[in-house]
């Protein structure tokens, strides 16, 4: 039986334990490694070395490609992968079982966010190294990458968890992949808002994908701080997504 | 007498228009094994899930270790109470040791995952992911995960389902060790052998309510019958004539007989002689004892 004098792990300790557990599972998954490292690096090479979706030229091409790839990585890891993995954890009964342990819902969500943030940071480091090899030279404004990455990861993770809470696993799989393609292609990520038709160009800066890509482009291409609009849009999506996830998340 | 570790009072669990548990009341004493048995659909798993807060009862109360159960997460009870679920609960890509080690990080004073897996007959060093383990091995991983937090009260929902005899024995030994150190065990099972070997107290459920409870001996009760295996499809008149007048004899299955009315040595002698006359030996002779399974079948049959 439990030793009465033993110290109960703190909420932070349990959140960290869950983050560590999720990270190990994520990095072991071959499909996840492909999404986290191989596809972003391949996309960076394609956008940097070809004229595919190119709106910049010369020395701006690699930073512009890097901004796009970082936004794609965040959306892929924090929204699509997280939503799908959580949906399937529910289907396998793993979440249901965790509900009987001392791990609380907040600790689970914090752990999932921590693991996803770590994976996106690792992905960012990997693509940044490749970008340097392709000729990118970081400037002071590159210091904004990490805060934007964390904010973007939090906003998309909140919506990933909200989606996983609302629908069953198979529906999450289909919708998360579909939304990923729509956001990446028409949400201001690969094709900048300025190159999109009028109504879409007006909407994309208000989407989390557009705001995230704009913020990365500001610090990597324009070499300045991200605009208040981009940051505000991400914060609003984060707040609403957290509220929705808190209401919709269920263990079983 | 110490306070019960589990008290259920008039529990009702409904799923839409279906009532899974219908006014169940029962208690389980601390440090004992209480078996919850009954046919499929009797409401055993729903009862367990309501007890561990996985589903909200429609009405009634549940108290574990003196505290009311809540479906809210994070309660202190989750440190002291654990469950081994019948279905699901595993991370398929993890190895058994990784999973049990992760579970250990959530508790204040966890058991040693390596030792626990070893006690359950699993090699802690195995690198095979859980999804590639056999059903019986997965059962044992679930059992280890439930026990690694050293719970004061543990629900084991069909822990020996699908296990080979050796693995079942390791679970039996573990359950005995648990009660030996004061843990309360609530066991649901369809295997009456598990109940007879492990349970201090038995609650029989059917159609969502408790229909009988007591020790195995109390449930089985005194019986004046003899059961045995003998010759197949022979005339019973000779045996009837040799037995005391109050005895009745029935062939329950081909070659399986039950003599009711007397268990005295004359009746046993008559049975052995009669079998020998028909060129058969008397096998599986049991005197004065119905099986628990017989009792359960009778109880279920009594309640349409």
Is residue A88 less than 8 Å (CB to CB) from chain B?
Answer: no
Scanning the structure block, which residue is given the tokens 């109960």? A8
- Whole-number Å distance between alpha carbons of A70 and A147: 13
Query: Which residues of B touch chain A, with CB atoms under 8 Å apart?
Result: 52-54, 73-74, 78-83, 85, 87-94, 98, 102-103, 105-109, 145, 149-152, 181-183
Give dist(CA A177, CA A184) in Å, integer: 11
Phi, psi of A191, rounded to the nearest 5 degrees: -100, 115
**In chain A, which residues have their Cβ closer than 8 Å to the Cβ of B101?**
none
CB pairs under 8 A between A and B: 95
Asked whether the predicted pLDDT for residue A108 surpasses 70, the reply is yes
Most confident of A47-61, B33-47, B212-226, B258-272: B33-47
Question: Across chain B, what does the average pLDDT equal?
Answer: 88
What percentage of chain B reaches a pLDDT higher than 70? 95
Q: Which of A100, A108, A246 has the highest number of chain B CBs within 10 A, making it the mutation to test binding with B?
A: A100
Q: Where are the domains of chain B?
A: 6-220, 225-288
| Cβ within 8 Å, pair B108-A25 | no
Per-position DSSP letters for A130-190, written without gaps between them: HHHHTT----GGGGGHHHHHHHHHHHHHHHHHHHHHHS-HHHHHHHHHHHHHHHHHHSSSS
Q: Nearest-CA neighbor of A15 among B105, B258, B9?
A: B105
Best of B102, B104, B184 to substitute, by most chain A Cβ atoms within 10 angstroms, is B102
Task: For residues A148-165, give the mean pLDDT.
Answer: 94
Best A101, A106, A107, A249 residue to mutate vs chain B (most B CBs within 10 Å): A101
Strands B59-64 and B67-68, how do they pair?
antiparallel
Binning pLDDT at 50, 70 and 90, where does residue A60 land?
confident
Quickly state the pLDDT bin for A145 (edges 50, 70, 90): very high
CA proximity to A65, closest of A162, A9, A132:
A132
Nearest Cα to B299, choosing from B221, B244, B185? B221
In this predicted model, what pLDDT tens digit does every residue of B179-232 receive, in sequence order?
Answer: 999 999 999 998 988 999 999 999 999 989 999 899 988 888 766 788 889 898
What CA–CA distances, in Å, run from A188 to A120, A142, A207?
A: 20, 20, 8
- Span A58-73, average pLDDT: 89
Which residues have CB under 8 Å from A139's CB, separation 6+? Answer: A223
In terms of DSSP bridges, do strands B59-64 and B33-37 run parallel, antiparallel, or are they unpaired?
unpaired
pLDDT surpassing 80 at residue B301: no
Mind telling me how many Å the CA of B255 is from chain A's nearest CA? 46
Cα(B87)–Cα(B94) distance, rounded to whole angstroms? 17
B225-229 and B209-214 beta bridge pairing? unpaired
Q: Are residues A1 and B87, on separate chains, in Cβ contact within 8 Å?
A: no
Position B304 scores a pLDDT of 46
More confident of the two residues B216 and A197:
B216
- What are the structure tokens assigned to B223, written together? 């019986």
CATH class of B6-220: alpha beta
Q: Does the interface predicted TM-score (ipTM) exceed 0.90?
A: no
- Amino acid B103: pLDDT: 96
Which one-letter DSSP state was computed for residue B43?
Answer: S
Judge contact between B167 and B144, C-beta under 8 A.
no
Angle between helices A11-28 and A105-133 (to 10 degrees): 50
List, in sequence order, every residue forming a beta bridge with B24; answer none if it has no partner: B11
Question: What does the pLDDT look like over B32-74, one tens digit per residue?
Answer: 999 999 988 899 999 999 999 888 899 999 999 988 887 665 5
The whole-angstrom separation of Cα A75 and Cα A184 is 8
Rounded average pLDDT over A105-131:
93
Q: Does A50 touch chain B (CB under 8 A)?
A: no
What residues contact residue B300 under an 8 Å CB cut-off, 6+ apart?
B38, B39, B206
Pairing type for strands B59-64 and B18-28 reads unpaired
Listed range (A7-21, A65-79, B107-121, B212-226) with the worst mean pLDDT: B212-226
Distance between CA atoms of residues B236 and A180, nearest Å: 79
pLDDT given for residue A196 in this prediction: 79
């Amino acid at each position: 039986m439990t030793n009465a004098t033993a110290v109960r792990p703190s909420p932070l300790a349990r959140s960290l334990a869950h983050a560590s557990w999720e990270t190990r599972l994520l990095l072991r998954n071959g499909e996840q490694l492909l999404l986290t490292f191989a596809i972003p690096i391949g996309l960076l090479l394609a956008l940097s070395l070809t004229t595919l979706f190119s709106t910049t030229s010369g020395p701006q091409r690699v930073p512009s490609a890097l901004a796009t790839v970082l936004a794609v990585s965040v959306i892929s890891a924090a929204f699509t992968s997280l939503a799908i993995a959580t949906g399937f954890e529910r289907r396998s009964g793993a979440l249901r079982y965790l509900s009987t342990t001392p791990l609380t819902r907040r600790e689970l969500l914090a752990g999932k966010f921590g693991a996803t943030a770590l994976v996106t940071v690792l992905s960012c480091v990997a693509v940044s190294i490749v970008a340097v090899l392709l000729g990118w030279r970081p400037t002071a404004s590159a210091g904004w990458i990490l805060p934007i990455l964390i904010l973007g990861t939090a906003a998309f993770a909140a919506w990933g968890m909200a989606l996983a809470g609302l629908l069953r696993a198979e529906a999450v799989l289909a919708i998360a992949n579909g939304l990923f393609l729509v956001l990446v292609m028409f949400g201001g990520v690969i094709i900048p808002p300025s190159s999109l038709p009028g109504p879409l160009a007006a909407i994309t800066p208000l989407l989390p994908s557009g705001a995230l890509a704009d913020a990365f482009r500001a610090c990597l291409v324009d070499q300045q701080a991200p605009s208040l609009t981009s940051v505000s849009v991400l914060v609003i999506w984060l707040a609403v997504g957290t509220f929705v996830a808190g209401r919709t998340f269920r263990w079983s | 007498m110490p306070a019960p570790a589990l008290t259920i009072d008039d529990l009702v669990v409904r799923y839409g228009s279906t009532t899974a548990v219908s006014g169940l009341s029962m208690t389980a004493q601390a440090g004992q094994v209480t078996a919850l048995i009954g046919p499929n659909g009797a409401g055993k798993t729903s009862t367990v899930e309501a007890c561990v807060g996985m589903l909200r009862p429609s009405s009634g109360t549940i108290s574990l270790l003196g505290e009311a159960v809540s479906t809210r997460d994070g309660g202190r009870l989750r440190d002291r109470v654990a469950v081994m679920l019948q279905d699901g609960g595993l991370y398929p890509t993890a190895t058994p040791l990784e999973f049990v080690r992760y579970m250990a990080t959530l508790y204040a004073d966890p058991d040693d995952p390596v030792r626990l897996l070893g006690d359950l007959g699993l090699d802690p060093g195995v690198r095979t992911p859980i999804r590639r383990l056999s059903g019986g091995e997965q059962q044992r991983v679930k059992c280890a995960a439930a026990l690694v937090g050293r719970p004061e009260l543990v629900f084991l929902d069909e822990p020996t389902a699908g296990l080979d005899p050796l693995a079942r024995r390791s679970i039996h030994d573990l359950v005995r060790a648990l009660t030996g150190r004061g843990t309360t065990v609530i066991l649901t099972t369809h295997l009456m052998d598990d109940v007879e070997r492990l349970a201090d107290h038995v609650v029989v459920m059917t159609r969502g309510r408790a229909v009988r409870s007591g020790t195995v001996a109390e449930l089985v009760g005194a019986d004046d019958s003899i059961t045995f295996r003998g010759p197949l499809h022979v005339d019973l008149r000779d045996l009837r004539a040799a037995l005391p007048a109050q005895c009745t004899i029935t062939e329950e299955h081909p070659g399986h007989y039950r003599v009711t009315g007397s268990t005295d040595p004359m009746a046993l002698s008559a049975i052995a002689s009669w079998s020998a006359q028909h060129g058969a030996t008397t096998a599986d002779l049991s005197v004065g004892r119905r099986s628990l399974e017989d009792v359960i079948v009778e109880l279920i049959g009594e309640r349409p």
